[in-house]
């Protein structure tokens, strides 16, 4: 009964490739997020969607494009991967955007070689 599930868990790919990470939540939450965690463990918010609408778009290169087909899904597509994109990407959800508890997926470990 995984509340927030994301795939794939591990991804090794070459520079310049395009890849996608999928995320689904079965909690009935309105808000979904993508976070990036680097090797120093900083958790940086990338995007947030509320009921399929983009509401937070931090300073992320436009090679990163989120897509939310419905409020239970938030996918992340990355074009022209660079070495610096190597990180753990966490999908997450919360009831609403306003400071509610955030439920994280298990993470997708992306390694760009």
Q: If we measure between CA atoms, which residue out of 24, 28, 26 comes closest to residue 69?
A: 24
Nearer to other proteins, 14 or 41 (CB): 41
* Under 8 Å between Cβ of 111 and 39: no
Angstrom distance (rounded) from CA 96 to CA 102: 9
Contacts with other proteins by CB under 8 A: the residue count is 19
By CB under 8 A, residue 27 contacts other proteins: no
Q: Between 10 and 16, whose beta carbon lies closer to other proteins?
A: 10
**Interface pick for other proteins out of 25, 36, 90, 110 (rule CB under 8 A):** 90
* Chain residues 52-81 in contact with other proteins, contact rule CB under 8 A: 56
Helix (H) / strand (E) element for 91: namely strand 87-94
Contact 2, 103 (CB under 8 A): no
Dmax over CA atoms of the chain, in Å, equals 38
Rule CB under 8 A: is residue 22 a binding residue for other proteins?
A: no
**Of the residues 14, 39, 62, 98, which one makes contact with other proteins according to CB under 8 A:** 98
Q: Where on the chain is the footprint of other proteins (CB under 8 A)?
A: 40-43, 45, 48, 56, 90, 94, 97-99, 101-107
């Amino acid at each position: 009964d995984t509340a927030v599930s994301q795939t794939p868990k591990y991804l090794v790919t070459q520079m310049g490739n395009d890849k996608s990470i999928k995320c689904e939540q079965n909690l009935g939450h309105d808000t979904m997020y993508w976070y990036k965690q680097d090797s120093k463990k900083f958790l940086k918010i990338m995007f947030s969607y509320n009921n399929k609408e983009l509401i937070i778009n931090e300073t992320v290169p436009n090679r990163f494009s989120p897509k939310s087909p419905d409020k239970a899904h938030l996918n992340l597509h990355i074009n022209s991967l660079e070495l610096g994109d190597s990180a753990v990407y966490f999908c997450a959800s919360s009831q609403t955007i306003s400071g509610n508890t955030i439920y994280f997926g298990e993470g997708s470990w992306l390694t760009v070689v």
